[in-house]
Structure 1
Amino acid sequence: MTFSNIVSLFIAMVVLAAIPSLSVLTVTTRAATYGFVDGVFTTIGLVTGDIIFILIAIWGLSFLSEAMGSLFIVIKYLGGAYLVWLGISLCRSKVQEMTIKKPVNSSLFSSFVTGLVITLGDQKATLFYLGFLPAFLDVSKISYLDTIAVILVATLAVGGVKLMYALMADKVSAIASSKTKNKINLVAGCVMIAVGIFVIVKA
């Protein structure tokens, strides 16, 4: 991976991590109800799940590239189309105001598991990374260093954004109005569409 690839990947992941979603709601809920530390452990769980999917996607893509040869281009087209569809869905989605209910008790381990399960329970994650990573990584020339770079980028980008959400939730118990979240969805959706088109063009 080149430095420009790393920077581009980092920016894209920051934007995507900022999208109001179940993971964001979970982090903010845990932080607002139990404190910032619980938000941190929930974030660690989320990032751990992302790393697992990244490893599956990267080495799965590498295997497919070697086994399928030119047919692998079809996978890229499908992945790019999926990203465009996801971007359009984000642009059209409307976020409603959500209230946070305080449960009785919790533990740091349960916060970690909550974050991990939410990520691993998302069956779209693997398909997402299959379509997303080829825009920044040449899977035919994958190396362990590239894998480590992607994991570090994901940890800093996704983890950093979720921690900011947790910190804000801990301080004010609310992130933003639904109007603001809708604007975030629109921007993130446009980024997704652009990345999807980029993947298709590169294929």
Structure 2
Amino acid sequence: MSLTSLLIFSGAMLLLAITPGPGFFATIARALTSGMKESAIVVFGIVIGDIIFLLFAIYGLSAVAEKIHWLFLLIKYFGAAYLIYLGWRLWSSDPNIVEIESTKEISQRTSFFTGLFITLGNPKVIFFYVAFLPTFMNLEKLSGVDVLAISSVVAIVLGSTLLFYGYTAVRAKKALNSKHSQKTLNRISGATMIGIGTVLAVKA
């Protein structure tokens, strides 16, 4: 794989990453309610999910993914229910009674699985990579170093883009410190999470 191909692929990934989708909305929602650290963990989960599907595509495992479609279907509905549950908790929570220190560990675990489920709940991602990658490189001739480079591009481009969105949301949140504003943010974020979960559940 040539450096030119990798750079072109990086540019294409950037264009895809900046397009708002479920990962974008989940990152923003988590940033508004829990801060940059938890938002970054959501992004980490999203990136891990993308890399899993990327490797499936590179190693020609799309047929395997089709055969275990039932497993992805279970993940999809479990993830959807999980996101809807989180959204309801955000919607109904009182910002004055949230004890951040006592919920820190749960929050981080929740953030990671939120990001992971968003990607793994949509097995079409693997078929996207199957169709997308061959336009830039010959998948049959990729070396281990090439696979590492491609995975790094996905992680860096997707991760940094979503982190930027999260950082922007956190900066905007600082201007909204009143109880009413925090309650509104919680409801907006909760509605967003419920919406993501609902779309994930009904999406064909």
* Band of TM-score, shorter chain: 0.5 to 0.7
Q: Percent identity?
A: 36
Whether contact under 8 Å (2:56, 2:62) holds in the other structure is: no
Runs of 4+ in 1 over 2 A off after TM superposition: 100-106
Contact 1:27–1:166, Cα closer than 8 Å, also in 2 = yes
2:77 equivalent in structure 1: none
| Structure 1 position 62, deviation (Å) | 10
Q: How do 1:178-189 residues align onto structure 2 when only pairs under 5 Å count? A: none
Structure 2 partner of 1:18: 18
For residues 148 and 124 of structure 2, what CA distance do their matches in structure 1 show?
23
The answer to whether residue 22 in structure 2 is matched with residue 7 in structure 1 is: no
Aligned to 2:76: none
Q: 5 Å matches for 1:100-119?
A: 101=91, 103=93, 107-119=107-119
Structure 1 residue identity aligned to 2:41: F
Aligned residues: 138
**1:148 aligns to what?**
148
Partner SS state of residue 137, structure 2: coil
What residue is the counterpart of 2:50 in the other structure?
A: 50
Displacement after TM superposition at 1:20 (Å): 1.0
**TM-score between the two structures when normalised by the length of structure 1:** 0.63
> Which residue number in structure 2 is paired with residue 41 of structure 1?
41
Residue in structure 2 matched with residue 138 of structure 1 by the alignment: 138
- Structure 2 counterpart of 1:29, one-letter code: A
Q: CA RMSD in A?
A: 2.3
What letter corresponds to residue 138 of structure 2 in structure 1?
D
For normalisation by structure 2, the TM-score amounts to 0.63
Q: Which residues of structure 2 form unaligned runs of 5+?
A: 64-89, 174-204
Mean alpha-carbon deviation: is it higher for 111-120 or for 135-144?
135-144
Paired residue secondary structure (1:19): coil
